[in-house]
Structure 1
Amino acid sequence: MKIYGIKLIQENEKDKLHYLMNFISKEKSIRISRYRRWEDFQRSLLSDVLIRSMIHRNFGIPNDKLLFKTNEYGKPYLMNSNIYYNISHSGEWVICVMNETSPVGIDIEEVKIIDFSVAKQFMTEKEYNKFEQLDDVTKQNYFYKVWTTKESYIKADGRGMNIPLDIIETNFSKNGNIQVSINALESKCYFNQFKLEKCYLITVCSAFQNLTDKIEIINIDEIVHELKVCTEL
């Protein structure tokens, strides 16, 4: 399993980002071009080219041979391949995870001040009762631990938001292990949770215990180089 991350770029690198539009599908290019906010444009494009470039780096598959589809629930996957991947973005970061053993899910969230009332919408009764007993600082940490765990789980599962978050119950042990259960039935998954910088929390979910907490930071020049190389082959 490998995890990669890239930060949103600065204004002086806009030309490089627009150049990368040449390496994505025409349909995706049209969709991305409709974004009005620069940050949304970046997140969507960087998500696409990050996974394309890292698939080539790790597996040697040329960009023009990559065929992406979505399952019945809308989760993207790579056709005719045993490569599993998932993407997430929040704030200034876009990240992806990939492996060859099982479906994976990843979620990154910028830890910031939030409206605590939202917790009742996605926590189970047991989780919310615990949440209510915490002080504000601990509440914030618990909120994001629960949220990213559930998000990574439903993304690994492949059904996404078709699984109601408030039926998934999380359990965080003192030794750092994370378990989830649905309607009291324990799910056979493994999780890893770690921070990026000081204010981002990442949770990874997989059916196999081959998890990592190491993230390789990629810059836009590496992505440009990787896609140019695999296009010229």
Structure 2
Amino acid sequence: MAIAYRQQVDEDTEFALWRIEETADELYRQLQLDDDEKAFTKKLSKSKRYLHWLGTRVLLRKMLRTDEYIDCKVDAHGKPYLVSLPYHISLSHSFDYAAVMISKTSPVGIDIEQIKEKVERIAGKFMRAEEMAFISEDKKIEQLYVCWCAKEAVYKCYGQKEVSFADHITLSPFTFQHHDVLQARLQKGNVNLNYEVNYLQYEDYMIGYVKG
């Protein structure tokens, strides 16, 4: 399967989606892995997480247009980074899709989620009361997924642990569109950061993406 969707955010930043239709073996054969990565993948074998891990790495390779080994590590906060290539990266996955965002200049964050009714049941865990007040009834599920994906993208872009979506990330009111922008703020201790988060509905998935 080729890249399903690709968007140039600016001259230094882009993201893409990969629809995972291959088997794990087909994806694995497209990668170069070191011994630690091979050992790690064996622990994931035969799980959906294994397909997702492989899918994001194959997509990363396609976006960087290289057949060489890509040394992709994860830091102490769980944020992936490239050891020897000058790109900031963010990875995400949900059901049949892998998503990757790269930038030459700034930290980035991306999140993809399949749209499901269950988000309404957990909204209280990631939404403030004032945020719930601007959620419209006719597009409630979609708008809640925008909020979740936006906060997840901000969290990934910031790249530090112990951030509460409800307590530390605030979204300004917005009206749901299929592809639009919203404003977010991350406040924690001495940290006070503003973000402009883009979102996009693609098929029955929601995607949030942001550049720091």
Please indicate, yes or no, whether the TM-score normalized by the shorter chain is above 0.5. Answer: yes
Which runs of structure 1 show a deviation greater than 6 angstroms over 4 or more consecutive aligned residues?
A: none
Could you tell me how far apart the structure 1 residues matched to 2:35 and 2:43 are?
13
Q: Is the 8 A contact 2:119 2:145 kept in 1?
A: no
Aligned to 1:82: 86
- Summarize the Cα distance change of 1:15–1:81 in structure 2 as closer, same or farther, 3 Å threshold: closer
What SS does structure 2 have at the residue aligned with 1:20?
coil
Aligned-partner residue type, residue 36 of structure 2: E
| 1:113-162 CA distance string (max 9 Å, x none) | 2152311111122113444xx43x52211210100000000101111x52
Aligned to 1:5: 17
Aligned to 1:148: 149
Aligned to 1:220: none
1:188 maps onto 2:197 in alignment:
no
Deviation of the 1:80 alpha carbon:
4.1
Q: Name which of 104, 124, 131 aligns with 1:127.
A: 131
Map 1:78-117; keep pairs closer than 5 Å.
Answer: 78-117=82-121
Q: Which runs of 5+ in 2 are unaligned?
A: 1-12
Could you tell me how far apart the structure 1 residues matched to 2:55 and 2:181 are?
32
Q: Name which of 26, 38, 42 aligns with 1:16.
A: 26
Q: Give the TM-score taking structure 2 as reference length.
A: 0.79
Aligned to 1:45: 54
- Summarize the Cα distance change of 1:63–1:108 in structure 2 as closer, same or farther, 3 Å threshold: same
Aligned to 2:208: 203
Could you tell me how far apart the structure 2 residues matched to 1:117 and 1:145 are?
15
RMSD value over aligned CA atoms? 2.5
Could you tell me how far apart the structure 1 residues matched to 2:181 and 2:15 are?
20
Could you tell me how far apart the structure 2 residues matched to 1:17 and 1:144 are?
29
Could you tell me how far apart the structure 2 residues matched to 1:105 and 1:203 are?
8
Q: Which runs of 5+ in 1 are unaligned?
A: 208-233
Aligned-partner residue type, residue 48 of structure 1: R
Q: Give the TM-score taking structure 1 as reference length.
A: 0.73
Percentage of identical aligned residues: 22
- Summarize the Cα distance change of 1:173–1:119 in structure 2 as closer, same or farther, 3 Å threshold: closer
Deviation of the 1:20 alpha carbon:
3.2
Aligned to 2:9: none
The structure that is strand-richer by fraction is 2
Q: How many residues align?
A: 194
Q: State the structure with bigger RCO (CA 8 A, min sep 6), 1 or 2.
A: 1
Could you tell me how far apart the structure 1 residues matched to 2:158 and 2:78 are?
12
Q: Is the 8 A contact 1:103 1:206 kept in 2?
A: yes
Aligned to 1:63: 68
Deviation of the 1:183 alpha carbon:
4.3
